[in-house]
Amino acid sequence: MRHRRNVKACRLVSAGLVFLLVFAAAGFAGQDNDLKKALVSGWRMWRDLQADLNALTFTVGAGYYGDASSGRELNKLDINASLAKSGYPNDLKFDFASSIQLKNSGVKTDYLENVTSLLLSYEHLFTSYFKAYGFVERFTDTYLSIQQRYETGVGVKGEFEIGLTEMGRKKIKDVIEFGKTAAEGRAQNMAGGEDLTSALAVDEGQIRDTVIALEKKYAFLAVGLACTTLAEIERASIDLPDGSSRLIDPRRRFRVALRPSLTLRPSEGLSIKWQTYYKMPAFGPTHVIAFDGTMRYDMRTDTFVTIKYDLPKSPAWARRVSLLIDYKYFFDNVPPFVRGVISAASQHNSLAFKIQAEL
């Protein structure tokens, strides 16, 4: 009798152990499935984010105003276009901007390109706060009598970010969570389909680089200072009082430029950017003769301020549509001149309202 009771007890214990093992296995299988789902979902978020951060983008913008009175017309068009290939830690960009004026006096129609800029630039980020860059630029400005100016240079920039926008915080949180999930999957030697394999291949270095890229893109405040060494070749054309024009012999200069900059994103979709180039003489005379016969410091400043608002909803054909206010200020302490006759203007202000689309 006692033997039968012992056998029955052993059977009950064995059944209980089997039940516990099956229950535990089911729990582990459930956790495994949850982890796989989290990895696949995280991978799709990661894939879309990388496509956005590393996209080849084309941006075009335009602003227009016109006046007409008694048979006379004045039309002005401001246009800009940009082709950019971004991807941490490299950025390659080609920018074009032009201000075109069409004036009809009732007798004849005059066409004039007031200001035109072509810029090719490349940047490489060494750390989250230090980058190097190079550029080539062609610039014209009829208000300052600059027929052609070519600049090429290299430089370094330090930039620090303070705070994040709400969108930036959310994206960085999602990236960090995905990185932890991928590390957990690798620790468990998990295997599966193509999406799961791709998710497990995302390592800590890729997560870190993406977080840095997001911190820069969505910083609440970014403050920077750049130092550039550049070579400049300029040719001026000055309109004389008799209606003719005089070409000034080309001048070559070497300069060192300091460029403080500030970017503020006070709310989602709104950004305010400011930067000023202080271009100072280098490797040669620092003072030259001006139109009035005095010796002046051969310095020039270029200031750019852009206020941009991204519309909450964009059409299907564009990634983003924005409204812009562009302000530019150019100053030359020693503008070109014809001795004893006339001097070119030393300052030029420009204000434009534009609509811009990123494709």
Phi (first) and psi of residue 311, to 5 degrees? -65, 140
Amino acid identity for residue 348 in this structure: H
Half-sphere CA count of 296, side-chain side, radius 13 A: 15
Distance CA 16, CA 83 (A): 69
CB contact set of 319 (below 8 Å; sequence gap of 6+): 55, 57, 358, 359
In the predicted structure, residue 138 carries a pLDDT above the cut 90: yes
Q: Using one digit for the tens of pLDDT, what is the confidence trace for 238-263? A: 888 887 888 888 889 999 999 999 99
Q: What is the percent of the chain with per-residue pLDDT over 70, rounded to a whole number? A: 88
C-alpha distances out from residue 332 to 156, 234, 289, Å: 24, 13, 13
Q: Is the dihedral of CA 246, 252, 257, 263 positive or negative?
A: positive
Contact 88, 109 (CB under 8 A): no
pLDDT in the model for residue 262: 97
Mean pLDDT for the chain?
85
Distance CA 298, CA 276 (A): 17
Q: What local confidence, expressed as pLDDT, does residue 70 receive?
A: 65
Q: How many CB atoms lie within 10 A of CB 302?
A: 18
Domains by residue range for the chain, with CATH: 54-165+218-358 (2.40.160.40)
> 317-327, pLDDT tens digit by residue?
888 899 999 99
d(CA 86, CA 93): 8
Q: Each residue of 141-199: pLDDT tens digit?
A: 888 889 899 999 999 999 999 999 999 999 999 999 988 888 888 888 777 777 788 88
Task: Categorize the per-residue pLDDT at 1 as very low, low, confident or very high, splitting at 50, 70 and 90.
Answer: low
CA dist., res. 256 & res. 235, Å (int): 20
Give burial (CB, 10 Å; 0-12/13-18/19+) of 150. Answer: middle
pTM for the model stands at 0.84
N- to C-terminal Cα distance for the chain? 87
